[in-house]
Structure 1
Amino acid sequence: MGRLGDKSDYESIREARISENMARMEMLGLRRCAGELSAISSAPSPRAGSVTPRKTPKPPRVLTPLRRSGRLIAAATPPGSGSRRSARLNGDSVQHKALPYRGADAEEEEQEEKSPMYIDKERLRVLQETRCDSKARGSVYDPVLGICCHFCRQKKLCGEEGCKRCGEGDFEQQCIGKTECSSCHSSNGILCRACLKVRYGEEMEEVRKNKKWMCPHCVEETGTKKFWICNSSICLKKRKIAPTGIAIFQAREQGYASVAHLLMDQLKSRGSF
């Protein structure tokens, strides 16, 4: 039995192994790495909600004056402080200067010039020179003198010879290059020469001679021609039919006189009206 204080064989072997491991760790540099990790883990962590200072500070904010409208500035400025205000608002007396008397004739001429029915001589000369002389739809658009066609909806001056409205600027006269229905006397019965021929197969000269001529819209409503309808986009949409567009080429290729005759034959074949 060993003496008290003597190390046992186990303790001697344990210490020898610990010394061997420490020497090996020192040789591999593990002790240095362990020390660095330990220093990092023991560093104090930032508190929750703390803000990390910026590396580059924000530039200082420059306050610019508020933008206000001139009306608000004038309303807030007291009178006499340099702002522009009318004499009435400033309380000053206002004296109106009398205008020179021009006479009744001058006043009537001024009122006539302001009237929409007034056309100066220069404009009338230009209209007469530029107005198309061909018997078609016309080439000069005039929102005042021109009468709107029910189909093309163009307010063009007609090229008809002797039309006092389009040629001389007489508002009291009817345009002879547009039709007028004897039944409705409305805008539905106004057609230009080109639309009358292409869309409905009628001639303007025949319409003028026939004092009881009815427009395609009234013919459709009265039912005097079965399966005959007005093929303007307005009337077709009311019937829930898609507008035909430029269908005159298709109609002529199939031997029809107009687009209306083509549609009438199509409706007959379908048996619908």
Structure 2
Amino acid sequence: MGRLKAKSDYEELRKARIFENQARLASLGLHKTISELRSVTSSPKSDKTHVRKHSKVDYSSTPLRRSARLRGKSPPKQEGLGYLEGSDSSDHGEKKGSTNGHLVRAKRGVRWHKISEEALARRCESKGRGSLYDPVYGICCHFCRQKKLCGEEDCRRCGDLDMAQPCIGKTDCSVCHSTNGILCRACLKVRYGEEMEEVRANKEWICPHCIEDKGINPYWICNSSFCLKKRKMVPTGIAIFRAREMGYKSVAHLLMDELQRADKRRR
């Protein structure tokens, strides 16, 4: 009974305070101000987000846009680039054509690819890796990844731009014939200690990848950054100076000796 009486006393006091506060607000004229603020802040139902009506467009009367290839028209020629007469660019296979006596192959149509005589004259300035970059005729070296025309004077591919001929300034593995076996003269000597003339004379030359796969030379590996990362090894960078100071023929010979010593320590 004591708790119920205390609760009723609290309710009476609460109601008395509410009435007192309301009377005070009325005397100060604040009821009107509060109602005005509520009417401003509350958004009416008519101000709801406007829903945009979707209007369907009729495309039946609109002519379809088609490319020049589908309309049977030849694409416009550009300066320095062009398309061979009578070539069907819709053919997805390889196309062949001649521009100024040079063979050109390209996917999805044959385009002209011109190299100035002035640029070709600079081709043999660097015999190691070549000095002229070309995305069409150049062959990418597996180590330095330079897609350049070779600097060999008697290379018909890079000199005459005849893609039917092999590049004598890049190696070709007799086993895999893959990009792993393509090395330029400089990388072949610095990284693996071989001369291009000896490789060209040896029709059964095998690239470092195939030597490792066949187990011909123990601890012999390809030391390109790609291959070292695949083996979770840190790329060597420019290690030829350290290799020669230590008396090694190439970077590959230095790594081969280091791997052999590390294997002996583990045993």
Q: Which range, TM-score by smaller chain?
A: 0.5 to 0.7
Find the structure with the greater CA-based Rg: 1
Question: Does 2:100 align with 1:120?
Answer: yes
Q: Name the CA distance, whole Å, in 1 between partners of 2:214 and 2:190.
A: 22
CA contact (8 A) 1:112 1:118 kept: no
Higher strand share: 2
**2:37 equivalent among 35, 51, 71:** 51
Number of equivalenced pairs: 198
CA contact (8 A) 1:237 1:243 kept: yes
| Structure 1 match to 2:6 | none
CA contact (8 A) 1:128 1:168 kept: no
Which deviates more from structure 2 when the two are superposed, residues 45-54 or residues 127-136? 45-54
CA contact (8 A) 2:125 2:131 kept: no
CA drift of 1:76 comes to 6.0
Cα distance per residue 1:74-116 (max 9 Å; x no partner): x46997xxxxx54x89xxxxxx9xx9xxxxxxxx951469856
Question: Does 2:204 align with 1:212?
Answer: yes
Question: Does 2:140 align with 1:148?
Answer: yes
| Structure 2 match to 1:259 | 251
Question: Does 2:123 align with 1:131?
Answer: yes
Q: Name the CA distance, whole Å, in 2 between partners of 1:78 and 1:222.
A: 66
- Counterparts of 1:88-237 in structure 2 under 5 Å? 110-111=85-86, 115=95, 118-120=98-100, 123=115, 125-237=117-229
| Structure 2 match to 1:250 | 242
Q: Name the CA distance, whole Å, in 1 between partners of 2:261 and 2:36.
A: 87
| Structure 2 match to 1:21 | none
CA drift of 1:146 comes to 0.9
Q: Name structure 2 gaps, 5 residues minimum.
A: 1-23, 41-51, 66-70, 75-82, 90-94, 102-113
Letter of the 2:100 counterpart: D
Letter of the 1:44 counterpart: G
CA contact (8 A) 1:124 1:169 kept: no
Which deviates more from structure 2 when the two are superposed, residues 233-242 or residues 153-162? 233-242
Report the CA distance shift for 1:50/1:118 in structure 2 as closer, same or farther (over 3 A).
Answer: farther
CA contact (8 A) 2:221 2:256 kept: yes
Q: Name structure 1 gaps, 5 residues minimum.
A: 1-38, 55-65, 67-71, 80-84, 90-95, 100-107
Report the CA distance shift for 1:142/1:78 in structure 2 as closer, same or farther (over 3 A).
Answer: closer
CA drift of 1:223 comes to 1.3
Q: Name the CA distance, whole Å, in 2 between partners of 1:155 and 1:113.
A: 29
CA drift of 1:255 comes to 2.3
* Identity score, percent: 55
Cα distance per residue 1:163-201 (max 9 Å; x no partner): 000000111100000011122222111100011011111
SS in 1 for 2:37: coil
CA drift of 1:250 comes to 2.3
Q: Name the CA distance, whole Å, in 2 between partners of 1:127 and 1:112.
A: 28
Q: Name the CA distance, whole Å, in 2 between partners of 1:191 and 1:213.
A: 12
Report the TM-score when normalising by structure 2.
0.62
Letter of the 2:194 counterpart: E
CA drift of 1:126 comes to 4.1
Report the CA distance shift for 1:194/1:116 in structure 2 as closer, same or farther (over 3 A).
Answer: farther
Letter of the 2:206 counterpart: M
| Structure 2 match to 1:32 | none
Letter of the 1:225 counterpart: N
